[in-house]
Chains A and B, each alone.
Chain A
Amino acid sequence: TQLLEQSPQFLSIQEGENLTVYCNSSSVFSSLQWYRQEPGEGPVLLVTVVTGGEVKKLKRLTFQFGDARKDSSLHITAAQPGDTGLYLCAVLLNYGGSQGNLIFGKGTKLSVKP
């Protein structure tokens, strides 16, 4: 059973369109991170959300943490080809000897065509 379910798995859109991707779970988390991974590179942190209902903006990207801290969304306004990549959500496990370990979702692969 996957702890984090990301949807959609793949998304191909035209430049200028808006889109939303989701990260869902049945578990409650103290925080959630979003990473972007470009082809041939490692993931890079975009944002961390920690408070239920929190909204953070990073230029054209808007991140929201669900009120119950079980899910999150990433909305991109007026997508550009430079937004192409794999978007991963991740949560921190804080129990036993695994404090500080991240569990990743499988990601949403976004392709923005010019």
Chain B
Amino acid sequence: NAGVTQTPKFRVLKTGQSMTLLCAQDMNHEYMYWYRQDPGMGLRLIHYSVGEGTTAKGEVPDGYNVSRLKKQNFLLGLESAAPSQTSVYFCASRAWTGGAGQPQHFGDGTRLSIL
């Protein structure tokens, strides 16, 4: 009963390094999301995907890229990490629905520090 799995759980990077965060879901959900959570700022949407092969920008997309080559996976990339990207990153997925109420299912987060 995995749900949404994020890897890695922790990572420390130096400024300018690149890395990819992986999100995998086993619920056959169409929608997937990447958020960042910062103290006093709440959860902010970075990018999202409404299906395999599609991606779209959220509220704070600058400095990040994403890919959804397979339905179950959503990758978040940092090409050149900056200290301002130090945060906790959450991935979520949701089933398609024509109405309200479907929950977003979250992973347990990736804690990323940029030195």
Contact with A along B30-51 (1 / 0, CB 8 A): 0101000000111111001010
Out of B90, B100, B103, name the residue touching A45 (CB < 8 Å): B103
Residue of B nearest to A107 (CB): B42
Q: Considering the chains assembled together, what is the distance between the CA atoms of A98 and B97 in angstroms? A: 14
Are A50 and B101 in touch, CB under 8 angstroms?
Answer: yes
Please, how many residues of chain A have a CB less than 8 angstroms from a CB on the other chain? Answer: 22
- The interface residues of chain B lying within 8 Å CB-to-CB of A101 are 33, 45, 48, 58
Set of chain B residues within 8 Å of A97, measured between Cβ atoms? 56
Cross-chain contact B106 with A100 (CB below 8 angstroms): no
B42 near A104 with CB under 8 A, answer: yes
- Please, could you name 23 A-B residue pairs with CB atoms under 8 Å apart, sorted by A? A31-B100, A33-B101, A33-B103, A40-B108, A41-B108, A42-B92, A42-B108, A42-B109, A43-B90, A44-B106, A45-B104, A50-B100, A88-B42, A92-B100, A97-B56, A100-B50, A101-B45, A101-B48, A104-B43, A105-B42, A106-B40, A106-B41, A107-B42
With A44-B106, A106-B42 given, can you name 14 additional A-B contacts, CB distance below 8 Å? A41-B108, A42-B4, A42-B92, A42-B107, A42-B109, A43-B43, A43-B104, A45-B103, A45-B104, A100-B31, A101-B58, A104-B43, A105-B42, A106-B40
Binding site for B on A (CB under 8 A): 30-31, 33, 40-45, 48, 50, 88, 92, 97-98, 100-102, 104-107
